[in-house]
Amino acid sequence: MKQFAQLFDQMDATNKTNAKVAAMERYFLEAPPADSAWAVFFLCGGKLRAPVPMRLFRAWAIEVAEVPEWLFDDCYEAAGDFAEAAALLFPNPNATIEDDQPLADWVENRLAVLRALPEGEQKLLIFDSWNRLNARQRFVWNKLITGGFRVGVSKALVIRAISLASKIPEDVIAHRLMGDWAPSTSAWDQLRATDNTDATVSRPYPFCLAHPLQALPDSLGSVGNWLAEWKWDGIRAQVIRREGKAFIWSRGNELITERFPEIVELAASLPDGTVVDGELVGWQSDCVLPFADLQTRIGRTKLSKSILARVPVTLLAFDLLEFNREDIRGLPLRERRAMLESLGIRLSPAIHAASWEDLTSERLKARDLGSEGLMLKRLDSPYNVGREKGIWWKWKIDPYSVDAVLIYAQKGNGKRASLFTDYTFGVWSDSKLVPFAKAYSGLTDEEIRDVDRFIRQNTLEKFGPVSTVKPELVFEIAFEGIQQSTRHKSGVAVRFPRMARWRQDKRPEDADSIETVKALLEAS
């Protein structure tokens, strides 16, 4: 654990991306292969299935800390991280012991076996582990148990570090890491293998991502060089047909095949050796359903007949990555699109426009179609890994916006621990403010500090972690969509709300009313 905790500390002790990558590169060169494999797994956000029930882990952390339960909860709220609170509350925080056992040993002989043990033995193993470690190592160990291992590195940076340590190109590493990558010595060796014919049957390609278009579209040159499509609000997915099997991958790198039987059926109709990129959307009477409807079935592992009937899903295909068992990502979009059309599946339609002006007016129809705006893709571009600029643009329609008053606040997690950063906003309904949206993002760090300070000095009441704040601050809340909702007090649910601006020029009485908000509902 020593070496891995040191890696964690080194990455945690710098704010510079290059220093973090260099620390990982060093680790990958020095650590035993099995440790490197596990480090990759955890640094990429991997997590073992709950090694112990959180309820028990919490109870043991409280027992060993010798504090009342409520105080433990207060500490958790202040630290914003369960693993950290538990580590900080452990007795003798300054004891100087070191553990030299390799990470793989900790994971394979402790973390991974926990799940199958009876409760009493789980407890013994956890307590024994805590006692072998120093404060920093204990924190890392707790993180391995609770998951959510964040040290400010993205998967892309981990990939870069592996590439630097192994001299294998980043995109090959990225490809090899996709899917069900199971860490082991041999998995690590395969990751670094120079032979490149190892793609397994289920493996998707890294997704090509779009940048928001901030400039005017005519800065992109001739409209004829671009493919315009609607930007759908669904689940970005790759549908894979290989060796008679179907796989569906989400952009979050999750295998979601079982959740979409309709799409598995669709995949069965594709020729072997085909990979399609597209958006999964709720679909009824030839129309896209709102994302909120799709959301009702995303989380479910068991799909009832009624939910399948209520929210049928389709794939709006827009790209072809593999055809006739060949990786065609290097071909220009124009050619890939032609091959995609030959498959005869439902496509995200191309929007034909003679000029940017035409396209600009087409874009105004987005909301009626349940779309978020337009995608612009350069017709001569290959399908690239990640977010290369200038190939794909998302040109969203302008968001809705409403002026609302800050009424409740809650402390954030992780980076925002013990700062009030999670806000609820209200709009007027007669002479009362009704909560209408929650928002967490959009303010600068400086504004967050000022708002945090205001909240601390103007808290009227507390209900658990939620503070009722004197209604004084007005914010412009921007959001992408609005729907009727019976679950929300205001009667509406908004999508992607965020703080567009702090309206310091406005008083609470200048904020909008629920009637104004509901008028948007009719317009939408």
Partner 1 sequence: MANSSLLTLTDCGLYCPAGDFHIDPWRPVERALITHSHADHARVGMKSYLTVSQGASILRARVGEDAAISTVAYGESIPLGDAHVSFHPAGHILGSSQIRVESRGQVWVVSGDYKIAVDATCEPFEPIRCHGFVTEATFALPIYRWKPQEDTFAEINQWWRANRAAGKASVLYGYALGKAQRMLAGIDPSIGPIFTHGAVERLTQIYRDAGVPLPPTHYAMSAGKKDFAGSLILAPPSANGSRWIRRFGDFSTALASGWMQIRGARRRRAIDRGFVLSDHADWPGLLNAIRATAAETIWVTHGQSEPLVRTLIEQGLDARAVQTEFEGELDEQAALPEADETADA
Q: Which positions touch partner 1 (CB under 8 A)?
A: 12-16, 65, 67-68, 70-71, 74-75, 78-81, 84-85, 88-89, 93-94, 152, 412-419, 445, 449, 452, 457
**Encoding tokens for residue 516?**
């104004």
Q: In the complex with partner 1, which residue's Cβ is closer, 136 or 155? A: 136
Q: In the complex with partner 1, which residue's Cβ is closer, 14 or 483? A: 14
Q: Three-class SS of residue 99?
A: coil
| Whole-number Å distance between alpha carbons of 153 and 10 | 12
The nearest distance, CB 175 to partner 1, in angstroms, is 31
The CA distances from residue 95 to 63, 82, 216, 357, in Å, are 19, 21, 60, 69
The nearest distance, CB 446 to partner 1, in angstroms, is 9
Q: In the complex with partner 1, which residue's Cβ is closer, 78 or 164? A: 78
Q: Which residue's structure tokens are 């979409």?
A: 260
Q: Which residue's structure tokens are 């039987």?
A: 261
**Encoding tokens for residue 211?**
């940048």
The nearest distance, CB 57 to partner 1, in angstroms, is 17
* Of 60, 69, 106, 55, the residue nearest 87 (C-alpha): 60
Q: Which residue's structure tokens are 């909120």?
A: 292
Q: In the complex with partner 1, which residue's Cβ is closer, 66 or 180? A: 66
Query: Can you say whether the dihedral through the CA atoms of 439, 445, 451, 455 is positive or negative?
Result: positive
Element (H, E) at 252: none
The nearest distance, CB 125 to partner 1, in angstroms, is 25
| Whole-number Å distance between alpha carbons of 50 and 126 | 14
Q: In the complex with partner 1, which residue's Cβ is closer, 81 or 480? A: 81
Q: In the complex with partner 1, which residue's Cβ is closer, 35 or 84? A: 84
The nearest distance, CB 10 to partner 1, in angstroms, is 11
The nearest distance, CB 12 to partner 1, in angstroms, is 7
In the 8-state DSSP scheme, what is residue 186? H
- How does DSSP assign 442-488, residue by residue? S--HHHHHHHHHHHHHSEEEEETTEEEE-S--EEEEEESEEEE-SSS
Q: In the complex with partner 1, which residue's Cβ is closer, 473 or 517? A: 473
